[in-house]
Amino acid sequence: MTGEQKGIVLVTGGAGYIGSHTVVSLLEAGYSVVALDNFTNSVNSNKNDSVALKRVETITGKPITFYRCDLLDKDAVEAIFKAHKIESVIHFAALKAVGESMTNPLLYYKNNMIGMINLLEVMDSHGIYKMVFSSSCTVYGEPERLPITEENPTGNVTNVYGRTKYFIEEMLKDAVRADAKWNIIALRYFNPVGAHKSGMIGEDPTKQFTNLMPYISQVAIGKKDVLTIFGNDYNTPDGTGVRDYVHVMDLATGHVAALNKLDREHLGLKMYNLGTGKGISVMELIQTFERVNKVKIPYVIQERRAGDISAMYANATLAETELGWKAVHTVDEMCEDFWRWQQMNPNGYKGEHMNGHH
């Protein structure tokens, strides 16, 4: 995969789940990476290093420049741009827990919105206008029709986390309208799951998590007794919620494809869905996980959660046509890869030294 050496990319939130996996793909594609993270959603060693990114260096055999930095600290961000010849930015850094966003909305608005504004202002002052932004399928709210294309209306959003993504998209539209130099792709991704096939990096939620896949594997490994399924009376084939689960390494290559597109042409602002185009129910995911990994997942059914949507999956043909990107990993692989990561790292990055990797 390694071709000619490409420029320096700044990856914000680079120590997080999707960030760290994308850094693997960027390095393999020949980009150099400067990463920043404030460790809100990721585990740091005591040395202000990212455990995940140290492992990415092991996986790829390439160095990463890492800064512990918060986007709300504009001077610190400015210093990073002064120190490196950054050519483009991939912006993952955000608070992302839907439940927490409802109980602490101001924290979410402050962190996600002001963080983005600081980043854009520093980029502008350094003459850097290429950005790939992590948006989310939450901007669509409860969809009127499926599958969801990029033309689906946005803004009828059911939670504060999703609203921060929607407001940022609107802000980007205004910024691009006011200054044609900006060249930005917003990737609306669906439900990321799985892990790098090495088992060395994966999803390690630092907060009380509601994501299904880590929850399933916590039950499988015996850390939790039983899985709670919220709602089995949805208007779906088996009554459980349907989502478009997409392998995190497919998302990673999607970011590289977006960056390649920005390197080649000027788009202004363009939105792309990243998903598989197939809906998988909660029950199907559990059954696939059991079959592939030969484990049992005991579960109980509870009431639906407020604000949960019955079904949502992408039409991702635009990304295929314009970015040359397509999700290639199967649901079996998502389950297999996540379980490998979980078994090799039963306590996530906080755990034992894995196979002598320190």
Over residues 128-132, the mean pLDDT reads 99
pLDDT at residue 115 is higher than 80 = yes
pLDDT at residue 42 is higher than 60 = yes
pLDDT in tens, 288-313: 999 999 999 999 999 998 778 899 99
In-domain check, residue 3: no
- Confidence at 129, pLDDT banded by 50, 70, 90: very high
| Rounded distance between C-alpha atoms, residue 318 and residue 197, angstroms | 27
| Rounded distance between C-alpha atoms, residue 312 and residue 24, angstroms | 29
Over residues 115-119, the mean pLDDT reads 99
Sheet harboring 311-312: ordered strands across?
280-281, 242-243, 311-312
| Rounded distance between C-alpha atoms, residue 333 and residue 90, angstroms | 26
Q: Provide the pLDDT for residue 350.
A: 85
Over residues 137-165, the mean pLDDT reads 95
Q: Provide the pLDDT for residue 5.
A: 83
Over residues 180-188, the mean pLDDT reads 99
pTM as predicted: 0.95
| Rounded distance between C-alpha atoms, residue 272 and residue 1, angstroms | 24
| Rounded distance between C-alpha atoms, residue 65 and residue 50, angstroms | 11
- Confidence at 209, pLDDT banded by 50, 70, 90: low
Q: Provide the pLDDT for residue 211.
A: 85
Q: Provide the pLDDT for residue 206.
A: 73
β-pairing, 130-136 with 86-91? parallel
Per-chain mean pLDDT for the chain: 94
In-domain check, residue 355: no
User: Any idea which of 97-106, 111-120, 280-289, 348-357 has the lowest mean pLDDT?
Assistant: 348-357
Over residues 133-158, the mean pLDDT reads 95
Q: What are phi and psi of 245, to 5 degrees?
A: -85, 130
17 is catalytic: no
pLDDT at residue 35 is higher than 70 = yes
In-domain check, residue 132: yes
In-domain check, residue 2: no
pLDDT in tens, 44-59: 766 789 999 999 999 9
Instruction: Give the domain extent around 258.
Output: 8-350
All residues at 6 or more sequence positions from 284 whose CB lies less than 8 Å from its CB, including other chains: 238, 331
Q: Provide the pLDDT for residue 158.
A: 86
In the numeric block, the tokens 């914000």 are attached to: 12
What spatial distance separates the first Cα and last Cα of the chain, rounded to whole Å? 27
Q: What are phi and psi of 119, to 5 degrees?
A: -60, -45
Q: Provide the pLDDT for residue 356.
A: 41
In-domain check, residue 27: yes
pLDDT at residue 353 is higher than 60 = no
For the domain that residue 162 is a member of, what is the CATH number?
3.40.50.720
pLDDT at residue 89 is higher than 70 = yes
pLDDT at residue 351 is higher than 80 = no
Over residues 28-34, the mean pLDDT reads 98
In-domain check, residue 346: yes
Q: Domain count of the chain?
A: 1
- Confidence at 352, pLDDT banded by 50, 70, 90: very low
DSSP labels, 295-322: ----EEEEPPPTT--SEE-B--HHHHHH
Q: Provide the pLDDT for residue 185.
A: 99
| Rounded distance between C-alpha atoms, residue 354 and residue 55, angstroms | 10
Over residues 201-217, the mean pLDDT reads 85
- Confidence at 43, pLDDT banded by 50, 70, 90: confident
Q: Provide the pLDDT for residue 358.
A: 38
- Confidence at 3, pLDDT banded by 50, 70, 90: low
Catalytic residue among 161, 215, 272, 349: 161
In-domain check, residue 356: no
Q: Provide the pLDDT for residue 354.
A: 45
**How many contiguous H segments (helices) and E segments (strands) does the chain have?**
12, 14
- Confidence at 328, pLDDT banded by 50, 70, 90: very high
Asked if residue 315 lies in contact with residue 145, where contact means CB atoms within 8 angstroms, the answer is: no
Closest CA to 299 of 249, 224, 243: 224
In-domain check, residue 241: yes
